[in-house]
Amino acid sequence: MRLRALLDTEALGLRLLGGEAELDRAVRGVMTTDLRDPSRYLAGGELVLTGLAWRRTAADSDDFVRILAGAGVAGLAAGEAELSAIPDDLVHACARHRLPLFAVDERVAFADITEYVVRQVSGERAGDLAAVVERHRRLMSSGPAGGGPDAVLDLLGSDLDLRAWVLSSTGREIGGAGHPLPAPVRAELAGAQQAAARTARPGPYRVGVQGRTYSLFPVRAGAGGADVRSRVLSDWFLAVEADAGEWPAERLDLLQGVTQLIAVERDRRDAARAVRRRLAGEIFDLVRGAAAPAEIGARLRAAAPVLVPGTGGEPHWQIVIAKVDWAGGEVPAGPAAQALLEEVLAGQAAQGADGADRIAVAHAEDKAMALVPLTGGTPGAGPAPGMTGAAPEPLHAETLLGLLRGPLTRGLGDDGRLTIGVSAAVHSPEGLRGALEEARHARRVAAARPGRVCVAGHEELASHVLLLPFVPDDVRRAFTARLLDPLRAYDRRHRSELIPTLEAFLDCDGSWTRCAGRLHLHVNTLRYRISRIEQLTGRDLARLEDKLDFFLALRMS
């Protein structure tokens, strides 16, 4: 069909804003998007529908139109629902790149235009297997026509007689074929997918579980990283109950196309989390910077419409901290931990009235920090107004460990490690700083344990650790300065490592042999360093009281 035919169809409510000379272009499909760069999902010949959410400044229009023109799309239709009129900069950009531009009346849904185009195009290609992919593209669009993963899986069942599920790295079912998989099967499939992905061989991966054969197709969202370890712990995958080794090339290509469409949904959800990530970063900056509780509370209230919309009363919060360590240290740990923690908590915490998860995760250096809203009332008291389902209970370390240890251990392999700390639930801004300290110390407790996946909760912390967050700031500064400033000054002047040596010595419970082995030093060199620490501070590390003072100073620094 041609663009001119769309313009002549009054029911579609399209108004031509430019590109009259290009109206004989053929339309081969339709895509709804608000991504700033949708090029990897375009094959050419599409009518692109957009609500203009990607436009922040006038300069964005030329970038967006240039990408569409380069991908060979047939035309662009912009909705007027959000803006009263299509911006002039978009009109001029389309004219420069010779891209036909239509305005969509706010009374016309993108779904109606999508349905009309797909019906016309599909009629021209009846019987063609590629028509199924086109239907998937329609249903996986990020705009009003989108149907989510379940719509794609329904089509796989109805058109190709395939039962399939979209699963996360933890085995969480994101979309299903109407027959939920048992949790042990999902966990086994998730572990098998990660183990296969670590080999870097292309999918699909075939695996047998409980007498059935499944084919696993990786879902690659976003740009990802060159190193598979940067994404293996947070990727989605498509599990199909069939042996893909017997399939013809056409069917394999079709399923690969389906994974690309599911990746659109993954990207859409990631984009929806961008605002919550930013809010989490701002809140954690205030908490770590010892801001006044009133300032933190004001920021939480401002963020409430995004994090806990429609709730009644003050929400309760938990803080979860995660760190992923890889041998060699060449994989950026912070972003990997952030993506993993979002995936881990997505099915465990509060949801808004729209059913979306309300996890807010930021990352700083090599760790990820999650601000988890529990409910709009008292934990365990039932859902607050506007919330869906039962009010979630506080997260427990044992629950997370049971969820993660099976599937993630295989993805971590022999060179990776995941440690997580969970705080207690708090119900006021004053408690967030203490919760952050609890989660930090709990993660350190987890890191001290053997195993690839280790989780610790606040209840495992010693009493002196619980007290540290409530020591006044001026007392903290005075105490740590008196003990540690002489050592820091000496390290700066002589480029020595007295502070790291002190930390290792205390971690080894004062064992000369173990500490020397950890630091790769001769015992005599270690004794010299400890002697220098004692001379500079006037303390004796053979005395329990002095060891405790140093331990507390290091924890409060």
Instruction: Identify residue 246 by its one-letter amino acid code.
Output: E
- Is residue 523 within 8 Å of 482, Cβ to Cβ? no
d(CA 350, CA 150): 22
Instruction: Identify residue 147 by its one-letter amino acid code.
Output: G
Residue 493 has phi, psi (to 5 degrees) of -70, -40
- Is residue 12 within 8 Å of 114, Cβ to Cβ? no
Residue 506 has phi, psi (to 5 degrees) of -70, -40
Instruction: Identify residue 384 by its one-letter amino acid code.
Output: A
- Give the helix/strand (H/E) hosting 285: helix 249-288
Beta bridge partners of 370: 320, 361
- Two structure tokens written together for 169: 């790295």
Burial class (CB in 10 A: 0-12, 13-18, 19+), 281: middle
Write a three-state SS string for 164-229: EEEECCCCCEEECCCCCCCHHHHHHHHHHHHHHHHCCCCCCEEEEECCEEEEEEEECCCCCCCCHH
d(CA 414, CA 277): 31
Nearest Cα neighbor of 212 from 165, 265, 282, 158 is 165
Beta bridge partners of 368: 322, 363
d(CA 260, CA 67): 19
d(CA 142, CA 87): 22
- Two structure tokens written together for 404: 């993660």
Q: Same fold for the domain at 3-124 and the one at 145-267?
A: no
Q: What is the pTM of this model?
A: 0.58
Fold annotation for 145-267: Beta-Lactamase (3.30.450)
- Two structure tokens written together for 462: 């010693």
Q: How many CB atoms lie within 10 A of CB 338?
A: 24
- Two structure tokens written together for 503: 């930390």
CA angle at 232 for the pair 436 and 407, rounded to the nearest 5° = 80
Angle at which helix 249-288 crosses helix 130-139, to 10 degrees, equals 20
Sheet holding 29-32, edge to edge: 14-18, 101-104, 75-79, 46-50, 29-32
d(CA 530, CA 331): 34
DSSP conformation letters of 89-124: HHHHHHHHTT--EEEE-TTS-HHHHHHHHHHHHHHH
DSSP conformation letters of 336-365: HHHHHHHHHHHTTS-B-TTS-B--EEEEET
Burial class (CB in 10 A: 0-12, 13-18, 19+), 69: middle
Q: Please measure the distance between the N-terminal and C-terminal CA atoms of the chain and give it in whole angstroms.
A: 68
> Which stretches of the chain score pLDDT less than 70?
82-83, 121-148, 159, 177, 221-226, 308-315, 329, 347-358, 375-392, 462-471
- Measured in residues, the chain has a length of 557
Q: How many CB atoms lie within 10 A of CB 190?
A: 25
- Give the helix/strand (H/E) hosting 409: helix 397-412
User: Is CATH 3.30.1180.20 the right assignment for the domain spanning 473-556?
Assistant: no
**CATH tag for 274-469 (out of 1.10.20, 2.30.30, 3.40.50, 3.30.70):** 3.30.70
- Two structure tokens written together for 64: 């967006």
Please identify, in words, the CATH class of the domain defined by 3-124. alpha beta
Structural domain spans, the chain: 3-124, 145-267, 274-469, 473-556
